[in-house]
Amino acid sequence: MATLQNPKFEFIGDDVALDFVNTVDNRDDPERRKELLNSYFDLLAWALGAGIVSEQEAQELQRHAIKSAMQARAALRRAKVLREALYRIFSAIAEQRQPATGDVALLDSFDKQAMAHRRIGRGGGGYQWHWRAEGNELDLILWNVAKAGAELLTSDSVYNVRACAAERCRWLFLDTSRNHARRWCDMRVCGNREKARRFQRRGAVRG
Ligand SMILES: [Zn+2]
């Protein structure tokens, strides 16, 4: 499935819901903001990279999305509504603010939809959750993300959610470092960029 290979996604959040939030670059900078999910196929490539759909599921969803282009666009829109609610909730938490009640209610409603489509079945040598799609399988990715977001919000790990310290980045991640000192989404990207900026500023002062 060559069309679904997509190197533009990074999975640095240590959590599916946070990685999903990070499908917008430079969110707070209107000039440099970059949407990474521009089609249902982007969403599918992201889900495959995140490991929440199998190759086989991705191929089935791809066929379905090609057949029902309008439904695929609607599913992408719903996924972005969920994504923006997750961003507002977890960036508030990262800044030690209370998330808006309406956003938590929105996540709750997506999670309820997800739960309504879950069933227990055999798998992996034991029992697992399976998704019962019944015609709206294009939302399968959204259900997975909603479940992850609801689980994160109600877990102790939520206190480790951080926003990247780079001015414009705003990517979110779980700080699982032993001394809880992780500041950057990705040291190679934002950490180095910020260091270069500080260096330039120092240079400007001296000059
Ligand atoms: Zn960053």
HEC string of 118-152 equals: EEEEEECCEEEEEECCCCCHHHHHHHHHHHHHHHH
Cα–ligand 1 centroid distance for 188 (angstroms): 9
pLDDT above 80 for 77: yes
The first and second tokens of residue 150, run together, are: 């609801």
Cα–ligand 1 centroid distance for 122 (angstroms): 40
Q: How many CB atoms lie within 10 A of CB 8?
A: 12
Cα–ligand 1 centroid distance for 24 (angstroms): 11
Mean predicted confidence (pLDDT) in 51-75: 94
pLDDT above 50 for 55: yes
* pLDDT over 90, % of the chain: 68
User: Long-range CB contacts (< 8 A, 24+ apart) of 153-160?
Assistant: 153/89, 153/90, 153/104, 153/107, 157/15, 158/90, 158/93, 159/93
- Res 46: pLDDT: 97
Q: What is this structure's pTM?
A: 0.89
More confident call, 23 vs 186: 23
Cα–ligand 1 centroid distance for 184 (angstroms): 5
Which of 124-138, 145-159, 178-192: highest mean pLDDT? 145-159
> What's the pLDDT tens digit per position in 10-31?
999 999 999 999 999 988 888 9
pLDDT above 80 for 56: yes
pLDDT above 50 for 69: yes
Cα–ligand 1 centroid distance for 22 (angstroms): 9
Cα–ligand 1 centroid distance for 124 (angstroms): 36
Residues 6+ apart with CB under 8 A from 106: 81, 82, 85
List residues, by chain if needed, whose CB lies under 5 Å from ion ligand 1: 164, 166, 169, 171, 185, 190
Q: Which amino acid is at 174?
A: L
Cα–ligand 1 centroid distance for 149 (angstroms): 20
> What's the pLDDT tens digit per position in 102-119?
999 999 999 999 999 988
More confident call, 6 vs 48: 48
Cα–ligand 1 centroid distance for 11 (angstroms): 12
pLDDT above 50 for 2: no
Cα–ligand 1 centroid distance for 95 (angstroms): 15
Q: Which amino acid is at 66?
A: I
Quote the CA–CA distance of 155 and 163 in Å, as a whole number. Answer: 18
> What's the pLDDT tens digit per position in 148-174?
999 999 999 999 999 999 878 889 999
Cα–ligand 1 centroid distance for 108 (angstroms): 28
